[in-house]
Structure 1
Amino acid sequence: MSRAVFPGTFDPMTPGHLDIADRARHLFDELVVLVAVNGDKQPTRAGGIRASAVRDALPPTWHNVTVTAWRGLTADFCHRHGIDVIVRGVRNARDARHEQELAAMNDSLGIPTLLLPTRPSLATVSSTAMRALPA
């Protein structure tokens, strides 16, 4: 069985995140959406609250997708839980450079990364931009 993890802060979950998760869930038998608990990112909500919001955003028919919060390296999560690959979305050239650096680090830790390009219609959507929208 092939298993993948899609890590991120998800503060909040965006249409782009949902699109990457949807595409990844068709490529693997199981997909874990891994909500990063990382104080350096200074998220607006705690990891457990963000994980709950991500679960609520996922369609109930996505039976092969689970959500969990995690503090630590994504590669460590993968090793502990038998995950084969990390999935990351890439919106633009700046993202690509950053994601390639992360992918190289994770590969050196024994976990390959699959980079999925964001659909052009979603490339300008970010969690930062969504937080700036009026409530």
Structure 2
Amino acid sequence: MTRIGVYPGTFDPITLGHMDIIRRGAKLVDRLVVGVTTNPSKSPMFTVEERMASVQREVAEVDGDITVVTFDSLLMDFATREGASMIVRGLRAVADFEYEYQMAGMNQQLNARIETVFLMADVSLQPIASRLVKEIALYGGAIGKFVSPAVEAEVVARVASIGRKGAP
């Protein structure tokens, strides 16, 4: 039986922290499905199509069977559709755990056959959050420590097109 895991997220933009979880998560399953989704509570900098292309480019060199797909449904419906037995989630801090623990409990109520596995982010990557990367970039700060060079270029270009905050 093929073990399939799903790693969902908005990936707006995909960070080195996300990539750490993807690399490590891919070792736990036969196939890892990276699900790029929308989140009604977030204001994305990039369209779903742009985020898909970015994630596909970034995971191309990662070892393992990794596919990238979009979804706009309940996570458990998506995981079931993909044939997943596992949801992979990354944790950065205790605050993440509280939210993720609640979500895992709700997801278990929806489908008890799919387990949620938490991976702690590498210590050097724990502070990285897409939201903070965007904020730093919007105020003209350097983001090269947090994202790949290709993602950095995409974010810098987007900020240039929408205008930097605090700029005259």
Fold match (TM-score > 0.5): yes
Q: 1:44-83 to 2 correspondence within 5 Å?
A: 44-83=45-84
Contact 2:13 2:46 in 1 (8 A): no
Deviation at 1:97, TM superposition (A): 0.2
Summarize the alignment of residues 1-135 of structure 1 with structure 2, pairs less than 5 Å apart: 1-110=2-111, 111-131=114-134, 132-133=136-137, 134=140, 135=156
Equivalences, count: 135
Deviations 1:33-75 (A, max 9, x none): 1011233322112212111111111143534001011101110
Cα RMSD between the aligned structures?
1.3
Q: Which moved more, 1:73-82 or 1:9-18?
A: 73-82
- 2:132 maps to a residue whose letter is A
Taking the aligned partners of 1:47 and 1:57, their CA distance within structure 2 comes to: 15
TM-score by length of 2: 0.76
Specify the SS of the correspondent of 2:32.
strand
CA distance in 1, matches of 2:62, 2:106: 34
Q: Quick check: which has more Rg, 1 or 2? A: 2
1:68-101 per-residue CA deviation (whole Å, 9 max, x = no partner) reads 1110111001112211110000000000000001
Bigger RCO of structures 1 and 2 (CA < 8 A, at least 6 apart):
1
Runs of 4+ in 1 over 4 A off after TM superposition: none
Q: Secondary structure at the match of 2:33?
A: strand
